[in-house]
Amino acid sequence: MNKYAVAFTGPSGSGKTTLVEKLSIELIKIKQVAIIKNDPKDKAIFDVEGKDSYKFSQTGAEVVVTSPTRTTYFSQREKTLDEVVSMLSNFDILLVEGLKTLPLPRIAIFRNKIDESYFSCSEAIAVDNSINLSDYDIPKNIDILDLNNTQMIIEWIEKNSKEI
């Protein structure tokens, strides 16, 4: 079975979790979906209502929450992407929130303002109408996606995700 992955990054509060949740709800209808969420501040509490991990687990996907000191999936240590992928059994598409150093195709999420420092690690940006694109010098190799158009983003993922 071929497995593919794509990553999402962006400033805190930009809508990464909301987008990954929406994408998972749609993708799970036709694919086996897994999600990895990076927790760089080591503050995740798994499966507490209202928390990101709870929202992700409610989509029906397998969920792993990673942090510098633990990985929540029957483990108490940080794992590499390869280790986490080997723990997940059946999935077609892996959605990774965070971990911007991983060599995966990446969509950067922005609302209100684009942080141009993300351009160097992103193949696409997803923005809403709060951003005036003409205010920015977006490199030609970066695709521009409508943050509120889930189907457009799914099509980009299907075309650009990396086989792992």
Which domain covers residue 60, as residue numbers? 4-159
Assess if residue 164 is contained within a domain: no
* Helices 16-27, 150-160: inter-axial angle, 10-degree rounding: 80
Assess if residue 115 is contained within a domain: yes
How do the pLDDT tens digits run along the chain, 164 residues long?
788 999 999 998 899 999 999 999 999 999 999 988 876 666 665 566 777 777 877 777 777 777 888 766 534 456 677 777 777 768 899 999 987 777 899 999 999 999 999 999 999 999 999 999 999 999 999 999 999 999 999 999 999 999 98
Assess if residue 145 is contained within a domain: yes
Query: Is the CB of residue 164 less than 8 Å from the CB of residue 33?
Result: no
Assess if residue 48 is contained within a domain: yes
Whole-model pTM? 0.79
HSE (side-chain half, CA atoms, 13 Å) at 51: 14
Domain count, the chain: 1
Assess if residue 86 is contained within a domain: yes
Q: What is the CATH number of the domain that holds 28?
A: 3.40.50.300
Residue 122's CB is within 10 A of a number of other CB atoms, namely 23
